[in-house]
Amino acid sequence: MADGSHPIPANQNWQIAQIRTYASDQRLYPIEYEVNGKPSGNHYLAGLPPFSLEKYRTWLEHIAALPEAFDVTETGR
């Protein structure tokens, strides 16, 4: 798990952590960050597809809980 404050210069990519995982492990990695004091979020799905729809719907709840949330019930309509 990567946690803490990691200031990064604008328009640059930096590796701040490594997460050991296996392609056979399907996982959701929620990502929270701050830009100019404004919280934001994103996510990464790891693992080999296909992902079960039931599992993904569970993950949608976690994704929607990130900053700048969206209405899960309206997704995919």
Assess whether pLDDT exceeds 70 at residue 1: no
Residue 18, classified by CB atoms within 10 Å of its CB into exposed (0-12), middle (13-18) or buried (19+), is exposed
Taking the CA of residue 47 as centre, how many other CA atoms within 13 Å lie in the half-sphere pointing to its CB?
13
pLDDT tens digit sequence for 8-19? 888 888 888 888
pLDDT one-digit tens code per residue, 19-61? 888 889 999 999 888 888 899 999 999 999 999 999 999 999 9
Domain boundaries, the chain: 36-74
Give the pLDDT confidence score for residue 60 in this predicted structure.
92
- Predicted pLDDT at 39: 92
Please tell me the pTM assigned to this model: 0.75
